[in-house]
Structure 1
Amino acid sequence: MKFFRPLFVFLLLQIPLSAIAAGQAELTWYGHAAFKLTTPTGKVLLIDPWLTNPANKNGKDDLAKLEKADLILITHGHFDHVGNSAEIARKTGARLVSTFDLGKAIAQYGGYPEKQMGFDTQGNFGGELTLLDGEVKIAFIPAIHSSTVMAPEGSADKDIHDGGNPGGFFIMVKNGPAIYHTGDTDVFSDMALTHQFGKVDVMLACIGGHFTMGPERAAEAVRLVKPGMVVPMHFGTFPVLDGTVETFAKALKKQGGKTRLHEMKVGETLKF
């Protein structure tokens, strides 16, 4: 016994501290297009963080309890994607990941702290960022949509301002999943090129219709991307977003692909 204990301690000391500290990556859905991605080392990324959207009954509590965010990723300038980002940024110091055009507009008209954005976290389509000490890589993916920015409700500024071009993100987490958030978009053929950045483990796909692709066209997008799993989003928040998971599931089944459909519940967390 006296021999084994020193041997165990010796072996334990050979294990990197990062391996001991690292946990699982987690993905939480707040409803609509809002997600929280937590890396294995505890870094927090928020995507289109409209936590107080109508689909999230606990939105105000979720917003109040959110104490940590390292990065906030915003796909385009519409209010339902900019969401609570300025408030969260001021509270947490989170840096903005977006295109330069969108960042400038959100800082000027949306209240996002301009000091929390810059060359290190902003880019454009085809570009790729390495962030959080190399733990995360983020590629900018185009989208077919629009992107305008409005001042917060109650502001004297009632104008609509240009927010640059809309997009999505391909997020690669070290020792974690590779996630493609489509943003708001229709299907387009170049989605098939997303794999050039890496294999997509999880695709977060808008299916609501009206302003974006609906379930059938979203299924075509899945066929092009070929992710391991698809999670539908951006549906049911408003009456006009009437695309359903049932219709989406039927369209996927008709295609006969290998992608697994997972319908997340608001507030649910997936672990990887």
Structure 2
Amino acid sequence: MLSRLRLFTATCFLLLVQAAFAAGQTELVWYGHAAFKLKTPGGKILLIDPWITNPANKNGKEDLAKLDKADLILISHGHFDHVGNAVEIAKKTGARLVSTFDLGRALVQYGGYPKDQMGFDTQGNFGGTLTLLDGEVKITFIPAVHSSTVMAPEGSPDKDIHDGGHPGGFLIAVKGGPTLYHTGDTDVFSDMALISRFAKVDLMLACIGGHFTMDPERAAHAVRLVGPTTVIPMHYGTFPVLAGTPERLAAALKRQGSKARVEVLTPGQTLRF
């Protein structure tokens, strides 16, 4: 009887330790293209450029259906492949929109994002930092070299293309977790070197597809400027013109003598920190 009691006590203790360990982790899920889900140690959910049903994600419809919680939706610029399923998710979860003020206004006016889920508390501009979710995250707006336009949802009589402000990326510092830099769509630019003066980047989520953004070779230069510990390639392979590959990125980094580690994810894969 005593042995069983000890075994039961030990099992309960192990489960409690495992639960505490899991609760203290940061989780990052890649859905393909530029779409990520970030879960903080406190259980808050951030979605970044949530095109969940992109062609690279074979389980996109199922993944979208399972997304029943989101606290913040971060959108880097107004193109359809980054706005993605944001409106549908926002209406289902009540998630607030994190974007530049100009983009947020355009998404509400033309893109269908719920107006009462966007305001000054989650809107900013480049160089500004927002402290959100009771201090769980700090989000800094980083510029990008690209473009940004907004179109009305499919089926709308509005067929015009509307200005979406300036494109950007996000530096996300998680309390008790890593600091991530999501580049959005961009080319390499020299001011990326300034990012490391304000924060040590643990994870750089870098576009590498080429054609519309920097390719792997140019992305390698961007990694050198930012100096992350790990780089996760994104925005490649979704369409034939996005021909950049993680292998080319790794080779370019090696040629430059970079110590950054390339972490290649598959759509739906989760990393834990």
TM-score under structure 1 normalisation? 0.92
CA distance in 1, matches of 2:125, 2:197: 16
Between the two proteins, what is the percent identity of the paired residues?
78
Which residue does the alignment assign to 2:141? 140
Deviation at 1:134, TM superposition (A): 0.5
Q: Which moved more, 1:191-200 or 1:78-87?
A: 191-200
Matching of residues 236-255 of structure 1 within 5 Å: 236-255=237-256
Deviation at 1:22, TM superposition (A): 3.5
Q: 4+ residue runs of structure 1 moved beyond 6 angstroms?
A: none
Which residue does the alignment assign to 1:230? 231
Alpha carbons 1:249, 1:261 under 8 Å: kept: yes
Offset from partner CA, 1:42-67 (integer Å, 9 cap, x none): 10000000000000010001011111
2:63 partner SS: helix
Gaps of 5+ in 2: 1-19
Which residue does the alignment assign to 1:179? 180
Matching of residues 91-102 of structure 1 within 5 Å: 91-102=92-103
Deviation at 1:222, TM superposition (A): 0.3
Matching of residues 190-269 of structure 1 within 5 Å: 190-269=191-270
Which residue does the alignment assign to 2:53? 52
Which residue does the alignment assign to 2:39? 38
Offset from partner CA, 1:191-225 (integer Å, 9 cap, x none): 01112331000000000000000010000000000
Alpha carbons 1:89, 1:112 under 8 Å: kept: yes
Task: Call closer, same or farther: CA 1:257–1:108 in 2, change over 3 Å.
Answer: same
Offset from partner CA, 1:125-151 (integer Å, 9 cap, x none): 000000000010000000000000001
Which residue does the alignment assign to 2:157? 156
Which residue does the alignment assign to 2:27? 26
The AA in structure 1 aligned to 2:196 is: H
Deviation at 1:69, TM superposition (A): 0.2
Which residue does the alignment assign to 1:16? none
CA distance in 2, matches of 1:115, 1:152: 18
Gaps of 5+ in 1: 1-18
Paired residue total: 259
Deviation at 1:20, TM superposition (A): 7.9
Deviation at 1:23, TM superposition (A): 2.3
The two structures, once aligned, show a CA RMSD in angstroms of 1.8
2:76 partner SS: coil
Which residue does the alignment assign to 2:11? none
Deviation at 1:257, TM superposition (A): 1.2
CA distance in 2, matches of 1:119, 1:107: 14
CA distance in 1, matches of 2:105, 2:133: 22
1:180 partner SS: strand
Alpha carbons 1:206, 1:212 under 8 Å: kept: yes
Alpha carbons 1:139, 1:197 under 8 Å: kept: no
Deviation at 1:249, TM superposition (A): 1.1
2:233 partner SS: strand
Deviation at 1:109, TM superposition (A): 1.1
